[in-house]
Each structure stands twice: as C-alpha cells, then as structure tokens.
Amino acid sequence: MTTQTLHIAVLTVFSETRESNDSYWRQIYLSIVQAAHERGIVVDDVIRINQGLKLADFAQYDAIIVLGDMTPSAVNQLKQINSSIVLADAKDHYHDIDAVNPELRLMTVRILNELYEAGRQKIGFIGGINDLTALDGTTTTNLEDVRSEIYEEWSKNHGITPHFHTGTWHAETGSLGATKLLEEEPQLDALLVASDPIALGAINALKLQGIEPGKDIDVVSFDNLELASYLVPALTTVELHPSAIGKTAISQACELARGERTWPIWATIPSQLHYRETFKKNK
C-alpha cells in the first residue's frame, strides 16, 4: 500500500531580508526542509506574510508550520481554515494548537543564579521586544520577551535593583543598552543579553568605555551563533538548538496531518550553556 505524500506549508512572519540576516530563524527553516525531504514530505515554497496571503489557500495543505509570532486573531483565523497547525517558537500558547519552543525560562534563571553565586550583585539585562504580525502584514510591537519577564521577577525576589533595556533584535540595541545601563549603574558587574547580535553591540560599547568583558564585567548571551566563539573575548552563550526545533515541528505536523492524535503537544527543546571567556562558572 502506498502512503499518500504529505504537503506542508511553512508560513513565516519574516521577510527574506530579515531571515537572511537572522541565523536562528534560517536554521529552523532549513532544518524543516531537510527533515521533510528525509521523510518524503513536500514543503511548498515558504509563504511570507509580507508578500500577501490568500487565507483560503491554506485549506489545501495537510498541515501548516508557522515561524514567528502572529496575533491571536491571525492564529485563530488560520485555524478555522486548517486545524493542523504547529507554531515554532511562538511566545503565545494556545490550548488547542501544537507548539515547539526552546527552553528559555529555566535557563534564564540558571544563568542569573550562577552570576549571583559568582558574587555579581549588579546584574543588568538587555533584550528584544517581539513583533506580533497580523495576516495583512501589519505589526504591533508589544510582546515582552520571557527572558525580560524572568529577569524582572528574579531581581525582585533577590532584592536587586533591576537595570534593563529593550529594543529591536539588532546590535544597536546592545550598544545603546550597555551605554544606558552603565550611566544608571557605573558599577555594573554582569550583563545578561537576549541574543548574540545584541551582545555584539553591547561588548563593543563596553570596550569603548575601557571595560573588558570577562574581567571587569561578565556577559552571557543566547543563540550560540558561530561568531560567538571567535569574538575577543569569546562569548559565553546559550545554544537554543534551532535545528531540533525545525525537526520537531515537522514530526508534529506529520502526526497532525495523518490524524495520529487528537490532542495538542507543546514540545520544549532543552537549551545548552557554552562557557567561554566572558563568563566562566565558579571563577
């Protein structure tokens, strides 16, 4: 008996330019394509919201994988057309929709605890704010990143004055953030950053002020991009395993498409902290 070939759509909120400049999301997409090929699944051309959508077209696919954050209204409209949806690294959870996400909460707490145990009392945070995209391509920037939430909660619980800055997910946010936080607290002794590109800007700003990461201030980031190990000093950062996120999304999409289950699954991919020169545990 021959098995019917599955056709799965990848719907992304990111433009080609944003995706080409964002290794994390590019790796998720490429791993989806690779895993689909290995399973004999057809992934049609990536569908980008900013290029315009015909919502009714999504009914033809066996399942849909969504990359990035859409508004609740957009998600619900999509679900009415096709109920076999997997959200990849979406900040909002829905009780009846599959999701696969990197583990951020426990890792953020772990890093803050390790910095605190290393004697750091003035820990700052620089992060990004997430855009919510509607089906017509318009965006609203109002979704706080979970790492920012955890940082504020952790600081309150430890009686530490929070020093944080958020902005776009670019190096400029790190540069502006580091400068601002040092003005607020010249004795800042640690910095948690939500992404490697932001951390790159922060490290440059620190160096311009004669502050050496790993000696004068600890810096820990997220992403573990290839450049992290080549920076001077090398950046301590968290591997979020984007390839595993993509492969898991394909696996869940296949189960939904084939009707193998009627309940949603929220999968969490464990993250891994790589210690390098900007923060060495138990030093």
Average confidence (pLDDT) per 10 residues, the chain, 283 residues: 78 84 90 94 86 89 95 94 96 93 97 96 94 88 86 96 93 97 96 96 96 97 92 95 97 96 95 96 64
Residue 64 lies in a domain: yes
Kindly state whether residues 48 and 92 are assigned to the same domain.
yes
Would you say residue 279 lies in a domain? no
Q: Are residues 136 and 184 in the same domain?
A: yes
Q: Both 255 and 148 in a single domain?
A: no
Q: Are residues 126 and 235 in the same domain?
A: yes
CATH number, domain of 250, equals: 3.40.50.2300
Write the DSSP string, the chain: -PPPPPEEEEEESS-HHHHHT-HHHHHHHHHHHHHHHHHT-EEPPPEEGGG---GGGGGGSSEEEEES-B-HHHHHHHHHH-S-EEEES-SS--TTSEEEEE--HHHHHHHHHHHHHTT--SEEEEEEEEEEE-TTS-EEEEEE-HHHHHHHHHHHHTT---EEEEE-SSHHHHHHHHHHHHHH-TT--EEEES-HHHHHHHHHHHHHTT--BTTTBEEEEEE--GGGGGSSSPPEEEE--HHHHHHHHHHHHHHHHTT--SS--EEEEPPEEE-BTTB-TT-
The answer on 196 and 166 residing in a single domain is yes
Range of the domain at 75: 7-102+241-270
Flag whether 261 is in a domain.
Answer: yes
Residues 81, 122 share a domain: no
Check residue 281 and give its pLDDT. 78
Which pLDDT score is estimated for 2? Answer: 44
Whether 18 and 132 share a structural domain: no
**Does 149 lie in the same domain as 252?**
no
Q: In terms of domains, do 85 and 126 share one?
A: no
- How many domains are there within the chain? 2
